[in-house]
Amino acid sequence: MAIPERVPIAHEPDYRTRTIGTYEDGQFFGSVTATLEDGIGSVDDWYRYKRWYAVLHRFGPEGDHTGSQIWYAGTSEDEEASIVRARACLADWLEALPRRTFGDIAIKLFHVDHEGHTFGLIDESEDYDEDHAELVPDDLGFDPPWDGSYDT
């Protein structure tokens, strides 16, 4: 079974997909997430390189990516404050979406390059030796039966 044209993502109010849904112009996926350069996790001061972001991806009604807002909130040197800032930024962005409703979405593969990092829903089938789409850098994996559930 190939990756579907539109990958369903289930809304889970108390977990990683709590800030997804629809709005006047289509669909959205919001998150607070972090990036880390490959290989940096093994250095003693890795926390200086873990970067926290507020992210809001927007999609049309048919799941086409229409734009992203990505804002750098700080590093894990001050992780709690960085996360608080990112959550506040995301809350403002979500509040500004007209006729916003949280719920399930179905979106197409996409990617955005930002500050040397990839954000998006990408085909990682080769890395998994099976059909697999990964929302990065959030580390949410989607697999058959493509019912909206994900692995972390």
Q: What is the pLDDT of residues 115-149, one digit of tens each?
A: 989 999 999 999 888 999 999 999 999 999 999 99
Could you read off the pLDDT of 80-108 as tens digits, one per residue? 999 999 999 999 999 999 999 999 999 99
The 3-state secondary structure of 13-65, one letter per residue: CCCCCCCEEEECCEEEEEEEEEECCCCHHHCCCHHHCCEEEEEEEEECCCCCE
Could you read off the pLDDT of 22-77 as tens digits, one per residue? 999 999 999 999 998 765 556 666 666 789 999 999 999 999 999 999 999 998 89
Question: Are the CB atoms for 11 and 21 separated by under 8 Å?
Answer: yes
The pTM (predicted TM-score) of the whole model is: 0.93
Residue carrying the six token digits 């894990």: 76
Could you read off the pLDDT of 104-113 as tens digits, one per residue? 999 999 999 9
The tokens of 144 are what? Answer: 């058959």
Give the Cβ contact number of residue 14 at 10 Å. Answer: 6
Question: Are the CB atoms for 73 and 53 separated by under 8 Å?
Answer: yes
Please calculate the CA angle 4-6-12 and round it to the nearest 5 degrees. 110
